Amino acid sequence: MANVIKIRKGLDINLKGKASEVMLNGGKSGSYAIVPSCFNGITPKVIARVGDKVKAGSVLMVDKNHPEIKFVSPVSGEVTAVNRGEKRKVLNIIVKADATIESEDFGKKSVSSLKGEEVKEAILNAGIWPFIKQRPYDIVANSQDVPRDIYVSTYQSAPMAANCDFVIKGQEQDFQTGLDALTKLTTGKVYLGVKKGSAIKATGVEQVEVEGPHPAGNVSVLINQLKPINKGETVWVVKPADVIIIGRLFNKGVADFTRLVAVTGSQTTEQGYMQVIAGCEISSIIGGKMVAGSNRIISGDVLSGTKVDESGYLGAYDTQITVIPEGDDNHELFGWAMPRLGDFSVSRTYFSWMMGKDKEYAVDARIKGGKRALIMSGEYDRVFPMDILPEYLIKAVIAFDIDKMENLGIYEVAPEDFALCEFVDTSKIELQQIVRNGLDLLYKEMN
């Protein structure tokens, strides 16, 4: 019997608009984009020029500090724009897609006969490397490292997140090949976290069942429960959808960034899954599927996703689109004094806790309170299932006391791990931003 990890601390937010397991039509996008800001720890150096004809798998840009890390076009077509912002910062590179997609041929390979270095080279060349991230710092993995272990969590426990059982169904072979490739990259093990009762089965990896409320599925929690990261150690993490892409590279010899995206949220008219290619236009997914009104479109989940416009592009790592009401037109009279039966709260200061756990909530994007200094204690601990003191770590990050940050476990966390803390915080502090800035500063300081 596989290992079972039981998580008690955490919180499942029961939101309206979960994806049902049906395929939706759509996802035909006119243009695709590489957005450098999706990839942390990268300094983009643009290779492609406007007007270039590219294939799926052709290099568009590289990391200035690690030129072997390539970012490739997800489709074939013509590079139509390299948009830059202030200080000539690259905002995105746009590729106008051909009707039929042609791919660069990287050659089919049998993973079992390859050495670690060859696997690494294949992934780097096909531009799939940026999907491998590392801890500490939560950045794109350094290809010169050999990680202690590699972790994949297929339990996506964030609100309304895609169900990996459904996503992997039919792609088991590619998924397995992807995992096999990852085992070649580490001297340690590849750990695969699955939701308790999941049908996902893989060989050659250490499979662990995880049970409990969000953030039980966060890969940081998996690492912390199995083998916490110590100072000086590096582990890599890959999302399950990207493991499939790695598998495809070896099985088919192409860089095929096709993935399933869960279309969710209370402001969508239909919910389900859609087959798209990474970097597609948001409008190609949710165009015509939104309830009219002031909406917030999120690439990712409601806790750690990125706010995007309909004209924006799907985030590189994201397998979910969420649409919720913005709520800025809502002026609630005496909200703080009302019973608020229809508003979700983890505390029992409002009476919605009497409505039971099955009630689904349509939550909008308002902060619902004033920003304050840290007042209440113990709020974060209740939703933070790691042997880390979140409040003290946050304080150390704000003060940028490097010794303290190290001692309190900064190397083990990613901003997403603080998402629930940020949600429940009555002082409305932007914790994920604080952690992100802290990690970036720390990285600069240490390298």
From the list 63, 256, 281, 364, which residue makes contact with other proteins (rule: CB under 8 A)? Answer: 364
With b for 16 or more beta-carbon neighbours within 10 A and e for fewer, the 276-311 pattern comes to bbbbbbbbbbbeebbeeeebbbbbbbbbbbbebeee
Residue-wise burial string across 120-156, b where 16 or more C-beta atoms lie within 10 A, e elsewhere: bebbbbbbbbbbbbbbbbbbbbbbeeebbbbbbbbbb
Binding characters for other proteins, 185-224, by CB under 8 A (x = yes): ----------------------------------------
Residue 328 interacts with other proteins (CB under 8 A): yes or no: yes
**Nearer to other proteins by C-beta: 340 or 359?**
340
231 binding other proteins? (CB under 8 A): yes
Q: Taking CB under 8 A as the rule, does residue 322 contact other proteins?
A: yes
Task: Write the CA distances from 228 to 4, 85, 135, 209, 223, integer angstroms.
Answer: 17, 39, 11, 17, 5
Give the contact letters, 406-435, x = binds to other proteins (CB under 8 A), - = no: -xxx-----x---x--xxxxxxx-xxxx--
What six digits make up the tokens of 257? 């960034």
37 binds other proteins (CB under 8 A): no
User: Is residue 259 within 8 Å of 241, Cβ to Cβ?
Assistant: yes
288 is a site residue for other proteins (CB under 8 A) = no
Checking DSSP bridges between strand 190-195 and strand 150-153, what pairing results, if any? parallel
User: In angstroms, what is the minimal distance from the CB of 430 to other proteins?
Assistant: 5
Site for other proteins contains 128 (CB under 8 A): no
Measure the CA–CA gap between 197 and 217, rounded to whole angstroms. Answer: 14
Instruction: Count residues binding other proteins (CB under 8 A).
Output: 75
Interatomic CA distance for residues 37 and 39, integer angstroms = 5
Q: Assess 143 for contact with other proteins (CB under 8 A).
A: no
The Cα 396–Cα 379 span in angstroms is 18
Q: Specify the stretch interacting with other proteins by CB under 8 A; choose among 125-133, 160-168, 239-247, 328-336.
A: 328-336
**C-beta closer to other proteins: residue 165 or 381:** 381
Shortest spacing between CB 360 and other proteins, in angstroms: 13
- Residue 256 or 412: the one with the smaller Cβ distance to other proteins is 412
User: Judged by CB under 8 A, does residue 305 bind other proteins?
Assistant: yes
Residue with tokens 């994201």: 318
Phi, psi of 262 (to 5 degrees): -85, 125
Among 64-72, 235-243, 301-309, 312-320, which window interacts with other proteins (CB under 8 A)? 301-309
